[in-house]
Structure 1
Amino acid sequence: MTELRIRAATPEDLDAVLAFWKVAAEGTSISDDRDGVERLVARDPEALILAEHEGELVGTVIAGFDGWRCHLYRLAVHPEQRRRGVGSALLAAAEERFVRLGGRRGDAMVLQRNETAQHAWRAAGYTPEERWRRWVKPLNE
């Protein structure tokens, strides 16, 4: 995909992000509300990463780092933009952020029933760790 812009979300983006997740994300979370996303952006302004194409929101990922572990949530790509490198670009940005912060392993929350997402995570180098029901990838091998 040409001219993909990757950037951190701002408070002004939050309504658009919440609307986007209703279209592009599999399932919902109890924190998929304005208050929850505002807390995220206020606490860690670089955690919510957006992908835009021609000024339109086409993807998101939350790259949370608690100082010890790297966690990935809400990797979502608009259905009409899938398989064009959006997800890969978002994960690359998230992983770069983690490495910059000193993270050594990323894990992803992935619904077991979402086979499309499982395929995407596997293609990105993450593997299921059944004991914890998460997907993991070493960042500094």
Structure 2
Amino acid sequence: MTDLRIRAARPEDLDAVLAFWKTAAEGTSISDDRGGVEGLVARDPGALLLAEHAGELVGTVIAGFDGWRCHLYRLAVRPDRRRLGIGSALLAAAEERFVRLGGRRGDAMVLERNETAHHAWRAAGYMPEEHWRRWVKPLTD
């Protein structure tokens, strides 16, 4: 896709991002609210990457680096714009960010039931690690 612009989200983008995820992202996260996304952008201003085409939000990815691991979350592309290279461009930008920060390997949170996403992640060179299991504990009600 030509004229695709990828940039870091700013505080004024957050309402649009949250609305976008309701239609373009699979599943929901405990942090999919204004406070959660504000905290992300305040702590790591470059982590939430947006893809825009003609001024319109068409994709997102969170590329978080904690100094040890490179984590990818919320790779989402507007449904009517999928398979045009937007997801690939977002992942390339995320990987470039990780390399600049000293990251060595990216990992992605991908829902088991999201078969479409599995194909996209594999096409980008990511593979599941079957010997790991994510363990979680909610810290708030």
Q: State the AA in 2 paired with 1:30.
A: I
What is aligned with 1:89? 89
SS in 1 for 2:2: coil
> How far did residue 133 of structure 1 move?
4.5
Q: Which runs of 5+ in 2 are unaligned?
A: 135-141
Identity %: 87
Q: Give matches, 1:24-43, under 5 Å.
A: 24-43=24-43
SS at match of 1:63: strand
Equivalent in the alignment of 1:45:
45
Q: How many residues align?
A: 134
Query: Which consecutive segments of 4 or more residues in structure 1 shift more than 3 A?
Result: none
1:17 aligns with 17
Aligned to 1:121: 121
Deviation at residue 107 of structure 1 after TM alignment = 0.1
Give 1:130 deviation, angstroms: 1.1
What code does the residue aligned with 2:121 have? Answer: W
1:75-125 Cα distance to aligned partner (Å, 9 max, x none): 000001100000000000000000000000000000000000011000000
Shift of residue 2, structure 1, vs aligned partner? 1.1
Q: Note the C-alpha offset of 1:66.
A: 0.2
- The RMSD of aligned alpha carbons is 0.8
- The CA distance in 1 between the partners of 2:64 and 2:84, in whole Å, is 24
What is aligned with 1:76?
A: 76
Q: TM-score, normalised by structure 1?
A: 0.93
Q: Hey, what's the Cα distance between the residues in 1 that align with 2:85 and 2:44?
A: 25
> What is the CA deviation profile of residues 32-66 of structure 1, one whole-angstrom value per residue up to 9, with x for unaligned ones?
00000000000000000000001000000000000
Q: Which has the higher strand share?
A: 1
